[in-house]
Structure 1
Amino acid sequence: MTNLINNIFEKISGPAFESVALLLARLGLGGVFYRSATSRMEEGSWTQLTENAVYQFSEAPFNNVPIINGEFGAYFTSFTELAIGLLLMIGLATRLSAVAVLGMAAVIQFFVFPSFAHLWATVAVWVALALILMMRGGGMFSVDKLIGHKLG
Protein backbone atom coordinates (compact mmCIF):
# COMPACT_ATOMS: atom_id res chain seq x y z
CA MET A 1 0.00 0.00 0.00
CA THR A 2 2.84 2.39 0.83
CA ASN A 3 4.44 1.74 -2.56
CA LEU A 4 1.16 2.51 -4.32
CA ILE A 5 0.82 5.83 -2.47
CA ASN A 6 4.45 6.71 -3.16
CA ASN A 7 3.99 5.91 -6.86
CA ILE A 8 0.92 8.13 -7.06
CA PHE A 9 2.73 11.04 -5.40
CA GLU A 10 5.77 10.58 -7.67
CA LYS A 11 3.55 10.79 -10.73
CA ILE A 12 1.78 13.98 -9.61
CA SER A 13 4.88 15.80 -8.40
CA GLY A 14 6.17 16.78 -11.84
CA PRO A 15 6.36 20.23 -13.42
CA ALA A 16 2.93 20.03 -15.12
CA PHE A 17 1.09 19.36 -11.87
CA GLU A 18 3.16 21.99 -10.07
CA SER A 19 2.23 24.48 -12.79
CA VAL A 20 -1.46 23.66 -12.37
CA ALA A 21 -1.10 24.30 -8.63
CA LEU A 22 0.71 27.59 -9.32
CA LEU A 23 -1.98 28.60 -11.82
CA LEU A 24 -4.68 27.94 -9.21
CA ALA A 25 -2.69 29.90 -6.61
CA ARG A 26 -2.34 32.83 -9.03
CA LEU A 27 -6.02 32.77 -10.01
CA GLY A 28 -7.20 32.45 -6.43
CA LEU A 29 -4.98 35.16 -5.00
CA GLY A 30 -5.29 37.45 -8.02
CA GLY A 31 -9.04 37.01 -8.05
CA VAL A 32 -9.33 38.19 -4.44
CA PHE A 33 -7.52 41.43 -5.19
CA TYR A 34 -9.23 41.98 -8.57
CA ARG A 35 -12.70 41.52 -7.04
CA SER A 36 -11.83 43.80 -4.14
CA ALA A 37 -10.79 46.57 -6.52
CA THR A 38 -13.72 46.22 -8.91
CA SER A 39 -16.23 46.13 -6.05
CA ARG A 40 -15.35 49.78 -5.35
CA MET A 41 -15.70 50.96 -8.95
CA GLU A 42 -18.69 52.51 -10.64
CA GLU A 43 -20.47 50.00 -12.82
CA GLY A 44 -18.94 49.95 -16.29
CA SER A 45 -15.89 51.96 -15.23
CA TRP A 46 -12.30 50.96 -14.50
CA THR A 47 -11.28 54.44 -13.38
CA GLN A 48 -14.13 55.87 -11.31
CA LEU A 49 -14.75 54.78 -7.74
CA THR A 50 -18.13 54.94 -6.07
CA GLU A 51 -18.76 57.73 -3.55
CA ASN A 52 -19.20 55.07 -0.88
CA ALA A 53 -15.75 53.60 -1.60
CA VAL A 54 -14.09 57.00 -1.23
CA TYR A 55 -16.10 57.68 1.94
CA GLN A 56 -15.06 54.35 3.48
CA PHE A 57 -11.39 55.25 3.11
CA SER A 58 -11.91 58.43 5.12
CA GLU A 59 -13.44 56.52 8.04
CA ALA A 60 -12.11 54.01 10.56
CA PRO A 61 -10.33 51.65 10.20
CA PHE A 62 -8.66 53.11 7.10
CA ASN A 63 -7.81 56.40 8.82
CA ASN A 64 -5.32 54.42 10.95
CA VAL A 65 -2.90 54.52 8.01
CA PRO A 66 -2.34 58.13 6.92
CA ILE A 67 -1.12 57.41 3.38
CA ILE A 68 -4.08 55.25 2.39
CA ASN A 69 -6.95 57.24 3.82
CA GLY A 70 -9.27 59.59 1.98
CA GLU A 71 -9.74 59.91 -1.75
CA PHE A 72 -6.08 59.35 -2.62
CA GLY A 73 -5.99 56.20 -0.51
CA ALA A 74 -9.17 54.84 -2.09
CA TYR A 75 -7.83 55.31 -5.62
CA PHE A 76 -4.28 54.18 -4.79
CA THR A 77 -5.45 51.03 -3.04
CA SER A 78 -8.04 50.17 -5.69
CA PHE A 79 -5.71 50.61 -8.65
CA THR A 80 -2.93 48.72 -6.86
CA GLU A 81 -5.31 45.84 -6.12
CA LEU A 82 -6.56 45.90 -9.71
CA ALA A 83 -3.01 45.77 -11.11
CA ILE A 84 -1.90 43.04 -8.70
CA GLY A 85 -4.99 40.99 -9.45
CA LEU A 86 -4.66 41.20 -13.21
CA LEU A 87 -0.89 40.59 -13.19
CA LEU A 88 -1.24 37.53 -10.96
CA MET A 89 -4.10 36.05 -12.95
CA ILE A 90 -2.18 36.21 -16.25
CA GLY A 91 1.14 35.37 -14.62
CA LEU A 92 3.04 38.51 -15.58
CA ALA A 93 5.60 39.84 -13.06
CA THR A 94 4.36 37.09 -10.76
CA ARG A 95 7.13 37.33 -8.19
CA LEU A 96 6.95 41.13 -8.00
CA SER A 97 3.16 40.99 -7.68
CA ALA A 98 3.51 38.45 -4.88
CA VAL A 99 5.84 40.87 -3.04
CA ALA A 100 3.16 43.55 -3.43
CA VAL A 101 0.60 41.15 -1.93
CA LEU A 102 2.87 40.73 1.10
CA GLY A 103 3.02 44.50 1.51
CA MET A 104 -0.73 44.91 1.24
CA ALA A 105 -1.33 41.99 3.60
CA ALA A 106 0.99 43.53 6.18
CA VAL A 107 -0.75 46.92 5.99
CA ILE A 108 -4.18 45.32 6.22
CA GLN A 109 -3.26 43.04 9.11
CA PHE A 110 -1.23 45.44 11.23
CA PHE A 111 -2.83 48.83 10.54
CA VAL A 112 -6.32 48.46 9.07
CA PHE A 113 -7.77 45.42 10.89
CA PRO A 114 -5.25 44.50 13.62
CA SER A 115 -7.70 43.09 16.13
CA PHE A 116 -9.79 40.77 14.00
CA ALA A 117 -8.69 37.20 14.64
CA HIS A 118 -10.57 35.80 11.64
CA LEU A 119 -8.81 38.21 9.32
CA TRP A 120 -5.45 36.78 10.36
CA ALA A 121 -6.58 33.43 8.95
CA THR A 122 -7.40 35.12 5.64
CA VAL A 123 -4.18 37.12 5.56
CA ALA A 124 -2.18 34.00 6.44
CA VAL A 125 -3.54 32.26 3.33
CA TRP A 126 -2.63 35.29 1.18
CA VAL A 127 0.87 35.32 2.65
CA ALA A 128 1.33 31.58 2.12
CA LEU A 129 0.21 31.78 -1.52
CA ALA A 130 2.35 34.87 -2.12
CA LEU A 131 5.42 33.17 -0.63
CA ILE A 132 4.87 30.09 -2.82
CA LEU A 133 4.57 32.30 -5.91
CA MET A 134 7.69 34.26 -4.91
CA MET A 135 9.68 31.03 -4.54
CA ARG A 136 8.35 29.10 -7.55
CA GLY A 137 7.22 31.82 -9.97
CA GLY A 138 4.14 31.63 -12.14
CA GLY A 139 4.72 28.16 -13.56
CA MET A 140 4.59 27.00 -17.16
CA PHE A 141 1.06 28.38 -17.69
CA SER A 142 2.07 32.02 -17.26
CA VAL A 143 3.07 34.99 -19.38
CA ASP A 144 6.33 35.06 -17.40
CA LYS A 145 7.19 31.60 -18.75
CA LEU A 146 6.18 32.59 -22.29
CA ILE A 147 8.33 35.71 -22.17
CA GLY A 148 11.23 33.81 -20.60
CA HIS A 149 10.98 31.13 -23.27
CA LYS A 150 10.91 33.74 -26.06
CA LEU A 151 13.89 35.59 -24.57
CA GLY A 152 15.87 32.37 -24.28
Structure 2
Amino acid sequence: MNSPYLRDALALCQRIPQDAIALLARVSIASVFWLSGQTKVQGFVLNPLSGEVQLGWPRLSDSVVDLFREEYRLPLIDPTIAAVMAAAAEHVLPLLLLLGLATRFSALALLGMTAVIQLLVYPGAWPTHGTWAAVLLMLVASGAGRWSLDGWWTGRRAGRA
Protein backbone atom coordinates (compact mmCIF):
# COMPACT_ATOMS: atom_id res chain seq x y z
CA MET A 1 0.00 0.00 0.00
CA ASN A 2 1.55 3.24 -1.09
CA SER A 3 -1.07 5.80 -0.16
CA PRO A 4 -0.16 9.42 0.58
CA TYR A 5 -1.73 9.06 4.04
CA LEU A 6 0.54 6.15 4.87
CA ARG A 7 3.58 8.06 3.59
CA ASP A 8 2.58 11.09 5.66
CA ALA A 9 2.10 8.96 8.77
CA LEU A 10 5.49 7.30 8.25
CA ALA A 11 7.16 10.69 7.72
CA LEU A 12 5.59 11.93 10.94
CA CYS A 13 6.85 8.88 12.86
CA GLN A 14 10.35 9.40 11.48
CA ARG A 15 10.37 12.90 12.97
CA ILE A 16 10.14 11.59 16.55
CA PRO A 17 13.48 12.61 18.10
CA GLN A 18 15.72 9.68 19.03
CA ASP A 19 16.59 11.64 22.18
CA ALA A 20 12.93 11.56 23.26
CA ILE A 21 12.73 7.82 22.62
CA ALA A 22 15.90 7.22 24.64
CA LEU A 23 14.60 9.37 27.51
CA LEU A 24 11.30 7.48 27.59
CA ALA A 25 13.19 4.16 27.51
CA ARG A 26 15.47 5.25 30.36
CA VAL A 27 12.65 6.50 32.58
CA SER A 28 10.39 3.51 31.88
CA ILE A 29 12.90 0.73 32.50
CA ALA A 30 14.45 2.56 35.46
CA SER A 31 11.05 2.67 37.16
CA VAL A 32 10.60 -1.10 36.77
CA PHE A 33 13.88 -1.90 38.50
CA TRP A 34 13.64 0.94 41.07
CA LEU A 35 10.22 -0.24 42.26
CA SER A 36 11.52 -3.81 42.46
CA GLY A 37 14.45 -2.58 44.54
CA GLN A 38 12.06 -0.73 46.85
CA THR A 39 10.39 -4.05 47.74
CA LYS A 40 13.73 -5.37 48.98
CA VAL A 41 14.51 -2.60 51.50
CA GLN A 42 12.92 -0.86 54.44
CA GLY A 43 13.82 2.41 56.07
CA PHE A 44 14.14 4.17 52.72
CA VAL A 45 11.14 4.74 50.47
CA LEU A 46 11.11 7.03 47.47
CA ASN A 47 8.18 6.22 45.21
CA PRO A 48 7.48 8.97 42.68
CA LEU A 49 4.36 7.15 41.47
CA SER A 50 2.58 7.03 44.83
CA GLY A 51 4.31 10.06 46.31
CA GLU A 52 5.45 8.04 49.32
CA VAL A 53 8.73 9.27 50.80
CA GLN A 54 10.65 7.98 53.81
CA LEU A 55 14.25 9.09 53.89
CA GLY A 56 16.28 6.92 56.22
CA TRP A 57 19.12 4.46 56.17
CA PRO A 58 18.05 1.53 53.98
CA ARG A 59 18.31 -2.04 55.22
CA LEU A 60 17.10 -5.31 53.77
CA SER A 61 13.45 -5.94 54.45
CA ASP A 62 12.70 -8.74 56.87
CA SER A 63 11.51 -11.25 54.27
CA VAL A 64 13.88 -10.60 51.36
CA VAL A 65 16.61 -13.07 52.36
CA ASP A 66 13.98 -15.79 52.77
CA LEU A 67 12.64 -14.85 49.33
CA PHE A 68 16.09 -15.36 47.81
CA ARG A 69 16.61 -18.59 49.77
CA GLU A 70 13.19 -20.21 49.25
CA GLU A 71 11.80 -18.86 45.97
CA TYR A 72 14.66 -17.51 43.86
CA ARG A 73 17.19 -20.24 44.83
CA LEU A 74 20.11 -18.81 42.88
CA PRO A 75 22.96 -21.31 42.62
CA LEU A 76 26.52 -20.55 43.75
CA ILE A 77 25.68 -17.45 45.79
CA ASP A 78 24.60 -16.99 49.39
CA PRO A 79 21.01 -15.68 49.60
CA THR A 80 22.02 -12.75 51.84
CA ILE A 81 24.75 -11.65 49.44
CA ALA A 82 22.40 -12.04 46.47
CA ALA A 83 19.72 -9.96 48.23
CA VAL A 84 22.17 -7.16 49.06
CA MET A 85 23.57 -7.15 45.51
CA ALA A 86 20.10 -7.11 43.94
CA ALA A 87 18.80 -4.36 46.25
CA ALA A 88 21.88 -2.20 45.60
CA ALA A 89 21.82 -2.78 41.83
CA GLU A 90 18.09 -2.07 41.61
CA HIS A 91 18.65 1.32 43.22
CA VAL A 92 21.99 2.49 41.82
CA LEU A 93 21.60 1.38 38.19
CA PRO A 94 18.11 2.88 37.67
CA LEU A 95 19.32 6.16 39.17
CA LEU A 96 22.21 6.18 36.68
CA LEU A 97 19.73 5.49 33.87
CA LEU A 98 17.49 8.37 34.96
CA LEU A 99 20.47 10.71 34.93
CA GLY A 100 21.71 9.25 31.67
CA LEU A 101 25.09 8.61 33.29
CA ALA A 102 27.06 5.49 32.35
CA THR A 103 23.91 4.50 30.48
CA ARG A 104 25.33 1.71 28.35
CA PHE A 105 27.06 0.11 31.35
CA SER A 106 23.93 0.41 33.52
CA ALA A 107 21.67 -0.99 30.81
CA LEU A 108 24.08 -3.87 30.18
CA ALA A 109 24.21 -4.69 33.91
CA LEU A 110 20.41 -4.66 34.14
CA LEU A 111 20.26 -6.81 31.00
CA GLY A 112 22.49 -9.33 32.79
CA MET A 113 20.19 -9.22 35.81
CA THR A 114 17.21 -9.74 33.51
CA ALA A 115 18.90 -12.78 31.95
CA VAL A 116 19.52 -14.29 35.40
CA ILE A 117 15.90 -13.69 36.40
CA GLN A 118 14.64 -15.21 33.14
CA LEU A 119 16.93 -18.24 33.09
CA LEU A 120 17.10 -19.12 36.80
CA VAL A 121 14.13 -17.60 38.62
CA TYR A 122 11.04 -17.06 36.46
CA PRO A 123 11.49 -18.82 33.10
CA GLY A 124 7.77 -18.55 32.36
CA ALA A 125 7.86 -14.75 32.42
CA TRP A 126 9.65 -14.39 29.08
CA PRO A 127 7.15 -11.89 27.60
CA THR A 128 7.89 -9.43 30.41
CA HIS A 129 11.62 -10.11 30.41
CA GLY A 130 11.73 -9.90 26.62
CA THR A 131 10.21 -6.42 26.80
CA TRP A 132 12.77 -5.36 29.40
CA ALA A 133 15.57 -6.83 27.29
CA ALA A 134 14.40 -4.98 24.17
CA VAL A 135 14.42 -1.62 25.97
CA LEU A 136 17.78 -2.33 27.61
CA LEU A 137 19.33 -3.49 24.32
CA MET A 138 18.14 -0.29 22.65
CA LEU A 139 19.94 1.71 25.34
CA VAL A 140 23.09 -0.42 25.06
CA ALA A 141 23.11 0.00 21.28
CA SER A 142 22.06 3.66 21.02
CA GLY A 143 23.07 5.19 24.33
CA ALA A 144 21.21 7.74 26.42
CA GLY A 145 20.76 10.41 23.77
CA ARG A 146 21.60 14.09 24.06
CA TRP A 147 19.10 14.69 26.87
CA SER A 148 21.38 13.04 29.43
CA LEU A 149 24.61 13.54 31.34
CA ASP A 150 26.30 11.16 28.89
CA GLY A 151 25.08 13.35 26.03
CA TRP A 152 26.20 16.52 27.79
CA TRP A 153 29.64 15.02 28.45
CA THR A 154 30.01 13.82 24.86
CA GLY A 155 29.00 17.25 23.53
CA ARG A 156 31.46 18.94 25.87
CA ARG A 157 34.32 16.69 24.79
CA ALA A 158 33.44 17.18 21.12
CA GLY A 159 33.59 20.94 21.65
CA ARG A 160 37.18 20.64 22.93
CA ALA A 161 38.40 18.58 20.00
Same fold? TM cut 0.5? yes
Q: Which amino acid aligns with 2:65?
A: V
Aligned counterparts of 1:2 and 1:20: Cα–Cα separation in 2 = 28
Aligned counterparts of 1:4 and 1:113: Cα–Cα separation in 2 = 44
Deviation of 1:9 after TM superposition, in Å, equals 2.9
Question: Greater strand percent: which structure?
Answer: 2
Deviation of 1:43 after TM superposition, in Å, equals 3.0
Deviation of 1:46 after TM superposition, in Å, equals 5.2
Aligned counterpart, 2:126: 120
**How many residue pairs are counted as aligned between the two chains?**
146
Q: Which amino acid aligns with 1:99?
A: L
Equivalent of residue 54 in structure 1, options 55, 65, 68: 65
Deviation of 1:5 after TM superposition, in Å, equals 3.2
Deviation of 1:110 after TM superposition, in Å, equals 0.7
Contact map agreement 1:65 1:112 (CA 8 A) in 2: no
Deviation of 1:2 after TM superposition, in Å, equals 2.5
Contact map agreement 1:41 1:49 (CA 8 A) in 2: yes
Greater alpha carbon shift after TM alignment, 121-130 vs 98-107: 98-107
Contact map agreement 1:101 1:126 (CA 8 A) in 2: no
Aligned counterpart, 1:23: 23
Equivalent of residue 63 in structure 1, options 50, 73, 79: 73
Q: CA RMSD in A?
A: 1.8
Aligned counterpart, 1:146: 152
Name the % identity: 31
Aligned counterpart, 2:51: none
Residue 19 of structure 2 corresponds to residue 6 of structure 1: no
Which digits, 9 at most, give the CA deviation of each residue in 1:78-128, with x for residues without a partner? 1011111111112111111111122111100111122x2xx1111000110
Aligned counterparts of 1:146 and 1:86: Cα–Cα separation in 2 = 17
Aligned counterparts of 1:133 and 1:46: Cα–Cα separation in 2 = 31
User: Is the alpha carbon distance of 1:12 and 1:46 closer, same or farther for their aligned partners in structure 2, counting shifts above 3 Å?
Assistant: farther
Aligned counterparts of 1:107 and 1:126: Cα–Cα separation in 2 = 13
Secondary structure class of the residue paired with 1:58:
helix
Secondary structure class of the residue paired with 2:146:
coil
The 4+ residue runs of structure 1 with deviation greater than 4 A are none
Aligned counterparts of 2:131 and 2:93: Cα–Cα separation in 1 = 16
Aligned counterpart, 2:105: 96
Aligned counterparts of 2:85 and 2:74: Cα–Cα separation in 1 = 16
Deviation of 1:133 after TM superposition, in Å, equals 0.8
Aligned counterparts of 1:7 and 1:24: Cα–Cα separation in 2 = 24
Aligned counterpart, 2:83: 74
Q: Which amino acid aligns with 2:63?
A: N
